[in-house]
């Protein structure tokens, strides 16, 4: 079965009364940066754009919420929550948070010596932020600072 994701988003936004979504088009490819050390020695960070948050943290708002949640990487699945503009995509995440925040898999890779370690916090934001400017000027720099503060060598990006 073919899912026409972009068409579905456009139709949903129209039904909700939002302006037509303008998909981001980068002016140039991001610079390639090779990993400076073997993966088995690298500290791995994680970002999920699923609107994940831990029980006790604030849920995301529904339009242009550009906030970021820091979630301890050892947060049990039972304490994970999700809120996102595209609620219909969260059914599986609510059943199994590991499909959007796969910290257990990263901990297994760490135990097996495949990665050097998992950062103490994983980060989450809501991927459905209308303002490309805010993502570029607020969200991306804040995430870069957050990863740098954890001395992350590489990051796994889990997009909704």
51 and 90 Cβ atoms separated by less than 8 Å:
yes
Least confident of 28-32, 66-70, 91-95, 98-102: 91-95
Q: What is the pLDDT of residue 85?
A: 67
Angstrom distance (rounded) from CA 60 to CA 52: 9
Q: What is the pLDDT of residue 43?
A: 97
Average pLDDT in the chain: 87
Hey, how many other C-beta atoms are within 10 angstroms of the C-beta on 79? Answer: 14
25-44 confidence digits (pLDDT tens): 778 888 888 999 999 999 99
Q: What is the mean pLDDT of residues 62-68?
A: 82
């Amino acid at each position: 079965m073919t899912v026409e994701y972009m068409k579905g988003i456009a139709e949903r936004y129209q039904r909700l009364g939002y302006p037509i979504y303008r998909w981001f088009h980068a002016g140039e490819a991001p610079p390639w940066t090779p990993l400076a050390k073997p993966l088995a020695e690298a500290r791995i960070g994680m970002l999920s754009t699923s609107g994940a948050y831990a029980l006790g943290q604030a849920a995301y708002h529904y339009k242009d919420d550009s906030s970021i949640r820091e979630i301890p990487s050892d947060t049990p699945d039972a304490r994970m929550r999700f809120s996102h503009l595209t609620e219909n995509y969260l059914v599986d995440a609510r059943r199994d948070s590991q499909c959007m925040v796969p910290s257990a898999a990263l901990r297994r890779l760490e135990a097996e010596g495949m990665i050097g370690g998992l950062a103490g916090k994983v980060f989450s934001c809501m991927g459905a932020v209308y303002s490309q400017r805010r993502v570029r000027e607020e969200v991306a720099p804040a995430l870069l600072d957050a990863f740098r503060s954890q001395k992350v060598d590489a990051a796994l990006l889990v997009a909704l």
